[in-house]
Amino acid sequence: MFSYIGKIKSTATEKVDCDWDSVISEIVINDDLQEGVEGLDKFSHIIVIYHLDKARFDKEKHLTRRPQNRDDMPNVGIFAQRAKDRPNAIGVTAARLLSLEQNIITVQGLDAIAGTPVLDIKPYYPQFDLRADATVPEWVERLMAGYF
């Protein structure tokens, strides 16, 4: 069982498939966990794990689909894409940390809407999180063109 460590405060209120890099959000950490953010402001990026509480997985509709429902994308399984409607409604994003003041973490590029519950935060470690030899299918390059 999980408990939430905080919630997202954002002007983004709708589930959309693009332009998240321009979104500035606040992660409001529960008061009783505020000390847990000590030292986080020394990092440029954080990994945010959150509950996609507004997402609804429909096996018939979401198990395989075209990413962003675009006709120029191949039909692929849910585990081969980063769609929001998933069997387990868990979101993970590496976001730029802009500031930390008491229990409020301001970030850029977090693809979560206002009110989204946060499950955990981890600092971004390039040694763990960056894989120089990673590859993606050609369609991912087309999908992400102009995204950020």
Domain extent, residue 124, equals 6-144
Mean pLDDT score of the chain = 91
Which CATH number characterizes residue 57's domain? 2.40.30.70
Position 1 in a domain: no
- Token pair 């939430």 is at which residue? 4
Q: Which of 18, 138, 113, 141 is nearest to 69 (CA)?
A: 18
Q: What is the pLDDT of residue 119?
A: 98
Position 125 in a domain: yes
Position 47 in a domain: yes
Q: Give strand ranges (E) for the chain.
A: 6-10, 24-29, 45-51, 64-65, 76-77, 90-101, 104-108, 117-123
What pTM does this model have? Answer: 0.90
Position 105 in a domain: yes
pLDDT digits (tens, 9 = 90+) for 14-25: 765 556 667 899
pLDDT digits (tens, 9 = 90+) for 64-120: 999 988 999 999 999 999 888 999 999 999 999 999 999 999 999 998 989 999 999
Domains in the chain, number: 1
| Gap between the Cα atoms of 18 and 108, Å rounded | 14
